[in-house]
């Protein structure tokens, strides 16, 4: 699905609330909304925009947008301002909300689900961007009003929410992870909106890749305090700015071909640089910084890598304590199921994600080949939680939350979001999270006869895993 053809109609609702009457004003939401309106108009969107709206104003603008969106092909809703979650339901806060008593919530706030439900009534691609998790003093008012029985259910950050599946699907992007508070920012725009403005109009780029770039920018700009979060259920790729360029005729055909290939090659190299440097920063190991410099001695982060090596070696540990912690595995009961031992969890360090890895299918069949038992499933849940893709409790039992966590992790890596793993993806997740998660061991079943036979099978499995590991390393390195 492309979202820039002349025959398509694109509608956007943009709201920025900052001048709160019963709380300290927010500096950036109106700036964010104005900038986003300009950006979307440049992409061909008809915009319904409102600044500092009270409850009546928000409902009126939403009604106008809902009517127009019925006949559109792409709908976008962008909101900047206060938001909160109560008993798992997300609300946007108009500027006149006071929450003086327990009845106030229903009459003074706008449920996010109401907006997304209206959008899903059209046969369109629906995209929602919520920069609405800012630290909210009005939550304290509501907490006091609700009393002791319900006050614990009030939180500043927004909660995880389901995606409506009408039309061509929906994606909901939050400025930060569920239950966390986003920053308003010290500049003209918030960190989340600033990143959106940089990447939303990226040419010929799927929205999943756009959001991956936004996540990286926000995470770095906030010194790793804020990690945006995406919940997606789209039926196909979505590009907001597809561009078909006609190459000028040149006498030298070879030169033309080289020029055409330069941009994507440079983009892949920059992506690989960033992945290697992020890996080194996450592990804190001087050897990982050296690995970056070996690959990119004149790279964008070369000076930073050299400085970190000097710092680590100056401290006397060279990063070896961190590296040791990453590779040490806790003792596991010797009776652990042989399938758990068949996959080596002390995998290699995460490598750049190659085109070969991206092209490999990930589905029910490839995941079945992993032969995951409950222990391995529990460890995957714990690893997903460690990456910020929260799946809830770790119990080795997979449901909708775990599938959503896998999907969001795949999106964050630029992989096709299927919700199912293949073996190279599993190895990538393992190497990314070593030393960062608490291992899970499933309750042991009563021992059965045939132990010696299991032991032989396990030895064969270990040999097969070793050989397969070599093949996977070759695929990842391509």
pLDDT band at 166 (very low <50, low <70, confident <90, very high): low
The answer for residues whose C-beta is within 8 angstroms of residue 21's C-beta and 6 or more apart is 95, 96, 98
pLDDT for 405 beyond 70: yes
> Could you tell me which residue, 89 or 457, shows the higher pLDDT?
89
* Residue corresponding to tokens 């680590």: 312
Q: Compute the average pLDDT of residues 140-144.
A: 54
Choose among 107, 125, 100, 87: nearest CA to 1.
125
Three-class SS state of 67: helix
Residue ranges of the alpha helices (H) in 239-360?
253-283, 286-295, 302-314, 320-327, 338-342, 355-359
pLDDT for 461 beyond 60: no
- Report the C-alpha gap between 125 and 3 in whole angstroms: 9
| Neighbouring C-alpha atoms within 13 Å toward the C-beta of 175 | 33
Helix axis angle, 253-283 to 302-314, nearest 10°? 20
pLDDT 10s digits, 331-375:
334 334 433 333 333 333 445 577 777 888 899 889 988 889 898
Question: Of 67-76, 202-211, 268-277, 419-428, where does the model show the most confidence?
Answer: 67-76
pLDDT for 172 beyond 60: yes
Would you state the pLDDT for residue 331?
38
- Report the C-alpha gap between 291 and 21 in whole angstroms: 54
- Report the C-alpha gap between 238 and 211 in whole angstroms: 12
Helix axis angle, 191-199 to 207-221, nearest 10°? 140
Would you state the pLDDT for residue 355?
72
Q: What are phi and psi of 91, to 5 degrees?
A: -130, 145
Would you state the pLDDT for residue 358?
81
Neighbours of 433 (CB within 10 A): 22
Average pLDDT, the chain: 75
pLDDT 10s digits, 38-89:
999 999 999 999 999 999 999 999 999 999 999 999 999 999 998 888 887 8
Would you state the pLDDT for residue 475?
46
Q: For residue 77, list its beta bridge partners.
A: 13, 128
Would you state the pLDDT for residue 467?
44
pLDDT for 194 beyond 80: yes
Would you state the pLDDT for residue 161?
65
Would you state the pLDDT for residue 409?
87
Q: Compute the average pLDDT of residues 122-140.
A: 76
Would you state the pLDDT for residue 462?
47
pLDDT 10s digits, 229-259:
888 888 778 899 988 755 444 454 444 444 4
pLDDT band at 456 (very low <50, low <70, confident <90, very high): very low
For a pLDDT cut of 90, what percent of the chain falls above it?
Answer: 26
Would you state the pLDDT for residue 182?
60
pLDDT 10s digits, 422-450:
988 888 888 777 667 788 888 875 544 44
- Report the C-alpha gap between 41 and 10 in whole angstroms: 10
Would you state the pLDDT for residue 270?
63
Strands 83-86 and 74-80, sheet pairing: unpaired
- Report the C-alpha gap between 133 and 141 in whole angstroms: 17
> Burial level of 322, CB count in 10 A (0-12/13-18/19+)?
middle
């Amino acid at each position: 699905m492309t979202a820039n053809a002349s025959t398509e109609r694109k509608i956007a609702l943009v709201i920025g609330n900052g001048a709160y009457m019963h709380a300290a004003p927010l500096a950036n939401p109106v700036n964010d909304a104005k900038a986003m309106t300009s950006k979307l108009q440049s992409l061909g969107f008809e915009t319904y925009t409102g600044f500092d709206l009270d409850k009546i104003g928000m409902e009126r603008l939403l009604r106008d947008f809902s009517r127009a969106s019925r006949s559109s092909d792409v709908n976008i809703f962008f909101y900047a301002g206060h938001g909160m979650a109560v008993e798992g339901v997300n609300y946007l806060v108009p500027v006149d909300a006071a929450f003086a008593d327990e009845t106030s919530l229903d009459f003074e706030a706008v449920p996010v689900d109401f907006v997304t439900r209206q959008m899903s009534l059209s046969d369109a691609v629906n995209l929602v961007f919520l920069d609405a998790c800012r630290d909210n003093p009005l939550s304290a008012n509501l907490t006091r009003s609700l009393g002791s029985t319900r006050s614990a259910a009030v939180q500043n950050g927004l909660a995880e929410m389901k995606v409506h599946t009408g039309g061509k699907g929906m994606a909901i992007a939050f400025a930060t992870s569920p239950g966390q508070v986003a920053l308003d920012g010290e500049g003209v725009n918030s960190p989340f909106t600033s990143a959106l403005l940089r990447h939303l109009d990226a040419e010929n780029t799927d929205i999943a890749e756009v959001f991956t770039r936004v996540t990286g920018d926000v995470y770095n700009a906030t010194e790793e305090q804020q990690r945006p979060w995406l919940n997606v259920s789209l039926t196909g790729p979505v590009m907001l700015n597809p561009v078909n360029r006609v190459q000028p005729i040149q006498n030298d055909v070879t030169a033309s071909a080289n020029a055409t290939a330069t941009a994507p090659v440079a983009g892949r190299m920059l992506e690989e640089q960033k992945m290697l440097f992020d890996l080194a920063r996450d592990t804190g190991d001087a050897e990982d910084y050296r690995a970056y410099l070996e690959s990119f001695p004149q790279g964008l982060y070369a000076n930073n890598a050299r400085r970190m090596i000097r710092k680590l070696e100056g401290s006397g540990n060279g990063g070896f304590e961190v590296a040791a912690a990453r590779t040490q595995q806790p003792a596991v009961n010797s009776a652990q199921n042989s399938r758990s031992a068949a996959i080596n969890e002390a995998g290699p360090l995460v490598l750049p994600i190659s085109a070969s890895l991206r092209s490999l299918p990930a589905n029910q069949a490839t995941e079945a080949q992993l032969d995951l038992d409950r222990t391995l499933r529990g460890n995957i849940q714990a690893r997903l939680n460690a990456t910020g893709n929260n799946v809830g409790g770790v119990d080795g039992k997979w449901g909708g939350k775990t599938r959503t966590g896998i999907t969001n992790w795949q999106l964050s890596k630029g992989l096709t979001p299927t919700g199912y793993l293949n073996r190279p993806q599993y190895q990538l997740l393992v190497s990314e999270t070593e030393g960062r998660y608490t291992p899970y061991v499933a309750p042991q079943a009563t021992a059965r006869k045939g132990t010696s036979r299991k032991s032989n099978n396990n030895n064969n499995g270990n040999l097969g895993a070793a050989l397969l590991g070599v093949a996977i390393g070759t695929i990842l390195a391509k």
